[in-house]
Amino acid sequence: MTNHSGKGAALRALHQQPGAFIIPNPWDIGTARILAAIGFKALATTSAGYAFSLGLRDGRVTREQHLAHCRDIVGATDLPVSADLEKGFGDSPESSAETIRAAAETGLAGCSIEDSTGKSDAPIFDFNLAVERIAAAVEAKNKLPQDFVLTARSENFLWGRTDLDDTVKRLQAFEKAGADVLYAPGLRDLETIRQVCSAVTKPVNVMMGMGPASFGVKELADAGVKRVSTGPALTMAAFTGFVEAAKEMKEKGTFGFATKSIGFGELAAFF
């Protein structure tokens, strides 16, 4: 597993096993090592979580920062890592291909490319361009010397475009273009998730830990989901604890948050 060339195959194999598996999203080397020690079989980066750790808003991380971060997470453990590389490093199909080549050079086992433009006035790429971008990414990954798992994302629901028909149309087109995994973040109920899974034949990823949804891995697997990621949810959980502790100190002058913390020795043992 320490050989980068085998990590893509290891990640792909997880999608071929029965049921669904969780691919959690660390935001730095320490959290990656904790998740590996707990026993997860693969990791994924979180663009938002990493941005927050740098004191930036999501979408403000540079190409160079993204790639350096990917190298850090890949090198932190022996697990295969899939990266959230947002829309890639540009808008064109050629930039999607370059994203794949650059991602593979870091040792990643895979990555996701989304159809969000990053522009609030026109947040989603035109359908044809979105498909062309994924097709170019597929062509690039197929020329790599190692296996590489490409996840294609339809971002409609994250941008208030709750058009299930268009989302399914995009996922089906991404599948036809050769994407390995399909992903529509922002789906909030099992019936919608079930409809998406039944509309395609490739493995489907869903994101959990954001919003009120309380169903678990078994329910998701029964709905047809193969992979469950957490996006920035773990980062938000950690920052929630930090903010609550800071507010307690400032507003009450007390330190009750310490009674909820794991022990220093237990935390140190992960490293």
Q: What is the pLDDT along the chain (271 residues), one digit of tens a residue?
A: 345 669 999 999 999 999 999 999 999 999 999 999 999 999 999 999 999 999 999 989 999 999 999 999 999 999 999 999 999 999 999 999 999 999 999 999 999 999 999 998 999 999 999 999 999 999 999 999 999 999 999 999 999 999 999 999 999 999 999 999 999 999 989 999 999 999 999 999 999 998 777 799 999 999 999 999 999 999 999 999 999 999 999 999 999 999 999 999 999 999 9
Dihedrals phi, psi of 89, to nearest 5 degrees:
-105, 35
Instruction: Answer whether residue 236 is part of any domain.
Output: no
Instruction: Answer whether residue 269 is part of any domain.
Output: no
Q: How far apart are CA 263 and CA 247, in angstroms?
A: 21
State residue 153's pLDDT score.
98
Instruction: Answer whether residue 149 is part of any domain.
Output: yes
* Closest to 43 measured CA to CA, from 109, 114, 121: 109
Instruction: Answer whether residue 62 is part of any domain.
Output: yes
State residue 212's pLDDT score.
76
Domain residues for the domain of 146 are 4-230
Q: How many domains does the chain have?
A: 1
Instruction: Answer whether residue 259 is part of any domain.
Output: no
Instruction: Write 62-69 long-range contacts (CB < 8 A, 24+).
Output: 63/89, 63/102, 67/102, 67/103, 67/106, 69/45
Residue with tokens 């990640």: 11
C-alpha Rg value of the chain to the nearest Å: 19
State residue 211's pLDDT score.
78
Residue 202 DSSP label = S
Dihedrals phi, psi of 211, to nearest 5 degrees:
85, -175
State residue 210's pLDDT score.
85
State residue 2's pLDDT score.
42
State residue 214's pLDDT score.
77
Instruction: Answer whether residue 257 is part of any domain.
Output: no
Instruction: Answer whether residue 250 is part of any domain.
Output: no
Instruction: Answer whether residue 241 is part of any domain.
Output: no
CATH of the domain at 180: 3.20.20.60
